[in-house]
Every structure is written in C-alpha cells, then in structure tokens.
Amino acid sequence: ARPDQWTSHYNLGNYQLSHGETKEAVASFEKALSFEPQAVTAMVNASIAHARLGEIAKAEKSLQKALKLAPDNAAANFNMGLLKAEKKEPKQAESYLKKALKADPRMAQAAYNLCVITAKDRIGEAVTWCRKAAETGPQNPAYAYTLAFYLNQKGDKDEAVKTLEALLAKYPGYRDAEMLLGELSRRENP
C-alpha cells in the first residue's frame, strides 16, 4: 500500500514467502533493505528465503549482517543455528541455538534443536533441553514425544512411560507416542 516504506515491502515478502513465492520474497526483502538497511527482521526473513532456494551462502551472509547489527536477536541466532546444523557444524549450531534461547528463554524450537544436537554424545543434556522444549511448547506434541524417546534412551523408562501417557491424554491418537508406549510395554511384559 505504501511503496515508499520498507515495511510495505517487508510485509509483501512475508506474504510471498508464506505462499511459496520464494524468489519474489527475496526481491521484496531486498527492496525493504534498500529503504532500511538496518532492518534485521528483513535480513532474517531474506535468509530463510535464500535457504529455501538452496542459496546457503546468501542465507548465511544475510544472517551474518543481521547478527552484526543485533548480536542478541533470537530469530537471527536461531536461524544461524539451523543453518550451521544443516552445514554439519554442530558445535557452532549449538552455540547459536544457546544464544537464541538466552535471548528468548521461551523459544521451544531452539531447545528442541539443542536436544537433537546434544543427544548424540550427551544424552542427559539432551533430556534437559527436550524437557525445556516440552514445557515451553506444550502445543507441539513432538517435543513431549522426543523427550520420552530420549528418556528411554537414557534408561529412565518409567519417566518415559509417564511422559507418553500424559502426551496421549492430551493428544489421543498421536501415533508415534502410541507406538513407542506399546514398544515399551512389550519390553516390560514379553
């Protein structure tokens, strides 16, 4: 509506991105940044669009610019963490995800991704991160399911079962939880 304001182009980019018009979204975010070169949110969303196009280097460059302007920005740190994980750089991914969570302690998706990253060699820490994800993001049943999965991996089957039962009470028919609970029950009563 207001082609002279960066927010108009930013909002158009968001609309385009949500409708799969990724190349057009990149152009809109770039236009927004031509009006307001310090619009961190436009940089972050441009990075998402670039990543969806497979332009990882451009996505990373956009996030680096955003983090230079706003080093404590939760969204920029979160997306950089995901990008680093995708590039198979787990230590860097972990660092950025922790910064995102520090900036926004309620960012369940950052805690969840930390859970997945640390589970490979630090199962106890993974359980802590999954628990935080499940507590801060109760609307996403995958977080509670993953918590139960890693609790079981850690050897705490009883707590895993309780977590799955609570999950199924809230989300009846959640297939993955039903399957894991059934598997744990069969192991207990062969």
Contact 36, 42 (CB under 8 A): yes
pLDDT at 189: 61
pLDDT for res 2: 78
10-residue mean pLDDT profile of the chain (190 residues): values are 86 95 96 96 97 96 98 98 96 98 98 96 96 97 97 96 96 94 80
- Predicted local confidence at residue 190, as pLDDT: 57
* pLDDT tens, residue by residue, 96-110: 999 999 999 999 999
- Please state the three-class secondary structure of 158-181 as a single string: HHHHHHHHHHHHHCCCCHHHHHHH
